[in-house]
Structure 1
Amino acid sequence: MTTAPPLPATPPAEKLTLAVVAAGLLALLLALADADAGRQSLWFYLALALVSGGTLAWSWLKFGGAPAGVQHHNLWLRASTGRGAVAWVTGLVLTGFYVVLYWYSGDDGHGHFGPLDHLVHALDGFSQWLRARPADQWFLYGTFYTLAVLLMGGRALWKYRHSRYQLIRTASVMFFQLGFAFLIPGVLLFFQQPEFYFSYFWPLKYDYLFPGTVTSLLQNGGLGIFMVFWGAVMSLLATPVLTYFFGKRWYCSWVCGCGGLAETAGDPYRQLSDKSRAAWRWEVRLIYPILGIIVAITALLWVHFATGGTLLGQAGTVAAKWYGFAIGSVFSGVIGVGFYPIMGSRVWCRFGCPMAAYLGLLQKHFSRFRISTNGGQCISCGNCSNVCEMGIDVKQYAQRGEPIIRAACVGCGLCSTACPRGVLNLENGPRQGRYQGAQLIHADSLRILS
């Protein structure tokens, strides 16, 4: 019986930085438990400082000082990234946090936020400065989310510093999360304007085209009218046009906050995505019906609105609430992020996101985007398949020299970055040449058979 080789010892400097991160998590627990308001803030900001400094220092030691290039660092042998005990504990903690956040931390009407109350109020000063109002559980979540993207984005910048594409792409998701998904919505609230996320569009931000939301925004004057215009144009016009030229990567890998978290905080788990055909069948069975459901709900709500609210009664509103609970909360949050350490970083994007389904249909049937391959140079190392977070067995395409034109592909480009032979290339070529590699192979096969 063969045994796995022992893992290399962790250098003392790396152990020290990880100890700093652990100390930060301990300080966060103290902030959670301490009833004194002054000490809450002290523990909380100390925790953020320790976690941030420790994470960035560890990232530099692990990747910044190492030779450039994609190194797997025994990912499958480590308990944290190979579905070991550490991964399961991490998954349980993340899942538990989302459960508490969504269902046990709502404002009780007196400014109390359940188990997360002390952490929420520790951010009151920052929230007052940014939004001119006290913090709530969603501001706490947004702060944690944005910090995770920025810190793990720094890790990705060091890890993939040899790839210009990865550097720009990572900087892009960091920019959109910090600016468009965190600071701008806060500034809008500061000036008594509707909270609006300019980087999220229908059908992902499904209520942005609901009649109730549209009506409410239109009542806020010129800015509200612009928000409605922006949401409609980005969802129905700009998305098809941009996807035609660049594929779904323009959004899923460059702009979207869900994708931003997956590409940064979820990067250590990208190799865990299931590459089996059974997983692909489940992907198709889930993601397209979810898109169909939100399209149907949106259409029914508009018909209900157009008929003066007499057609559906409360059915449309109830359907929207159940969709928000089952898909917007359970799937995208609890499962989508909580299951990172077990199922990979793109569980939500792959199996549940209606925006990914919408973009995927456009990409597969109407886009110029493809990943071209050169089968003659492929050495079947499997690096490309290992790093594909969307469960595509890239190696099979590369071996046959077939272009990769899949609805699931988010164009992250890691398959190309990880390839030691330059076999894979992301292209925005003429539509008539998208399938050229496959057609040439098919013609060669027919010629050999004849």
Structure 2
Amino acid sequence: MHQNLYLYFRRLGHALLIISTICLLVCIVGYQTFDPVLWGWSGILLLIVGSLLLIVPGRLREHVAHQNNDICQQQATTRGWSAWLLGVVLTGFYVLLYWFPYTLQGLVFALEPLSQWLRQKPSDHWFVYGAFYTLAVMLMGVHALLKYRNNRYHLIRTCSVIFFQLGFAFILPGLLLAFNKPEFYFSYFWPLKYDYLFPSTVGYLVDNGAALGVFMVFWGAVVSFVATPVLTYFYGKRWYCSWVCGCGGLAETAGDPYRHLSDKSRKAWQWEVAIIYPILGFVIITTLALWVNSWSGGSLLGDLSGGFARTYGFFIGSIFSGVIGVGFYPIMGNRVWCRFGCPMAAYLGILQKHFSRFRITTNGGQCISCGNCSTYCEMGIDVRWYAQKGEPIIRSSCVGCGICAHVCPRGVLKLENGPRNDRYAGTILIERDSLQILS
């Protein structure tokens, strides 16, 4: 693309984003004076156009081999002032969303026409959140599609997360409400969607959804306890974490520019193990306690199990997964929640580590120790250490995104679903002393 034309699109994109921000602020702050629908949708449309003007020319201008150029020199992707500012904005948005939703009333009014058209229900702050969440996945999905356009695996994977977020996590739940059925997210399962197997939720779905509600409960239970082990055995945790999950979808699209910020230290790995598995245990204990209390009519545990559920919902469901999990993208990388807090990731990780066919094989004889694989591992795995030794990467935290293989200049890494026999066997390395050329 011609340099002058690229600069024109870039400046126009920045100008539209500034105007979009002003429109959205007017919608939020001045909705009682100004038309929130007009200002809100003007801001959203300008946000879409401005973002595309920055994303499309910028990605197409760069050769496929140069997509990560200067990423470690830019303020926005190296914990500079703009990264901290974005982190504060994202964190602030989640704080308002969870604890001060009335402050977002302007956006609620702005999206009222969309909510009525899709759900036949009034808009609320959770619909606002779902709409902007989906928009972020779609816009930054375009970014990922162009960035990895020479890799079929990443093109399909990115289209998959966009499809599941738009179709299964936004449109389908809205249509269920439009037909007076319980809102249900078919792409989220226990233990990530921890309350889907709580007695209160099961009772609500069965009582209000009739046959469909029974199917929802059946679907959630079967996927959690049957489909998840089977799919993880064949494909590893990547089938969910990098292809279906909405949290992973946001991380792989909107969070992609920050994947290199993940902490690769051993201390971070120790914290990961020390936090994520107790959270999984907390979900299991809470679910069991609620069912025991339900069956006993509250005579055994009283409100203790309910206290467990409220505690988990506040500290893990709200603060960890939302405020920290997304708000800290520009500072700690894009998989903070997936790596340290997600109970579904812990569950899948145990299956992947001990019962799966999935592994990333390494051809150590070809490794030049450039470190690209470790740098861009969003889960903080020191991939280079395995590659140098020719050992397969079988880690419970690996989400199988495949970026390590994509950025390797020598084709050292390969994602495989091979037989479990000799799963941990490394490639045979030819040592220099073994080559007796002159003998």
Does TM-score exceed 0.5, indicating one fold?
yes
CA contact (8 A) 2:79 2:331 kept: yes
Cα deviation, residue 168, structure 1 = 0.2
Distance 1:66 1:85 in 2: 25
Distance 1:342 1:70 in 2: 23
| 1:358-397 alignment runs, 5 A limit | 358-397=347-386
Return the letter of the residue paired with 2:346: A
Residue of structure 1 in register with 2:183 after alignment: 195
Distance 1:274 1:399 in 2: 20
Return the letter of the residue paired with 2:396: A
Return the letter of the residue paired with 1:100: L
Residue of structure 2 in register with 1:137 after alignment: 125
Distance 1:406 1:398 in 2: 14
CA contact (8 A) 2:9 2:53 kept: no
Distance 2:29 2:294 in 1: 47
Return the letter of the residue paired with 2:254: A
Residue of structure 2 in register with 1:7 after alignment: none
Residues 1:278 and 2:267 aligned together: yes
CA contact (8 A) 1:69 1:159 kept: no
Residue of structure 1 in register with 2:111 after alignment: 123
Aligned length: 428
| 1:396-411 alignment runs, 5 A limit | 396-411=385-400
CA contact (8 A) 1:17 1:57 kept: yes
Q: Deviations over 1:123-179 (max 9, x none)?
A: 111101111111000000000000000000011000100000000000000000000
Residue of structure 2 in register with 1:109 after alignment: none
Residues 1:306 and 2:306 aligned together: no
Q: Deviations over 1:357-414 (max 9, x none)?
A: 0000000000000000111111111111111100011111111111000000000000
Distance 2:92 2:37 in 1: 23
Return the letter of the residue paired with 2:293: H
Residue 35 of structure 2 aligns to a residue whose secondary structure is: helix
Distance 2:411 2:327 in 1: 34
Distance 1:406 1:37 in 2: 55
CA contact (8 A) 2:27 2:106 kept: yes
Return the letter of the residue paired with 2:400: G
Distance 1:346 1:22 in 2: 28
CA contact (8 A) 1:297 1:319 kept: yes
CA contact (8 A) 1:287 1:350 kept: yes
Cα deviation, residue 25, structure 1 = 1.5
TM-score (norm 2): 0.95
Residue 432 of structure 1 aligns to a residue whose secondary structure is: coil
Which of 239, 245, 250 is the aligned partner of 1:261? 250
Larger displacement relative to structure 2 (214-223 or 407-416): 214-223
CA contact (8 A) 1:127 1:133 kept: yes
Distance 1:227 1:411 in 2: 28
Residue 426 of structure 1 aligns to a residue whose secondary structure is: strand
Structure 2 unaligned spans of 5+ = 1-5, 435-439
Report the aligned-residue RMSD.
Answer: 1.8
Residue 285 of structure 2 aligns to a residue whose secondary structure is: helix
CA contact (8 A) 1:98 1:334 kept: yes
Residue 69 of structure 1 aligns to a residue whose secondary structure is: helix
Residues 1:85 and 2:81 aligned together: yes
Residue 72 of structure 2 aligns to a residue whose secondary structure is: helix
Q: Percent identity?
A: 62
Residues 1:33 and 2:22 aligned together: no
| 1:108-257 alignment runs, 5 A limit | 114-219=102-207, 220-257=209-246
Residue 409 of structure 1 aligns to a residue whose secondary structure is: coil
Return the letter of the residue paired with 1:374: N
| 1:435-450 alignment runs, 5 A limit | 435-437=424-426
CA contact (8 A) 2:256 2:334 kept: yes
Cα deviation, residue 79, structure 1 = 0.9
Residue of structure 2 in register with 1:323 after alignment: 312
CA contact (8 A) 1:372 1:404 kept: yes
Distance 1:261 1:394 in 2: 23
Cα deviation, residue 209, structure 1 = 0.7
Residue of structure 2 in register with 1:297 after alignment: 286
Which of 13, 34, 53 is the aligned partner of 2:9? 13
Residue 421 of structure 2 aligns to a residue whose secondary structure is: helix
Structure 1 runs (4+) greater than 4 angstroms displaced: none
Distance 1:381 1:375 in 2: 13
Q: Deviations over 1:49-68 (max 9, x none)?
A: 11111111211111123212
CA contact (8 A) 1:208 1:214 kept: yes
Return the letter of the residue paired with 1:296: I
CA contact (8 A) 1:211 1:301 kept: yes
| 1:29-108 alignment runs, 5 A limit | 29-36=25-32, 39-69=35-65, 71-105=67-101
Larger displacement relative to structure 2 (166-175 or 217-226): 217-226
Residue of structure 2 in register with 1:5 after alignment: none
CA contact (8 A) 1:160 1:167 kept: yes
CA contact (8 A) 1:69 1:160 kept: no
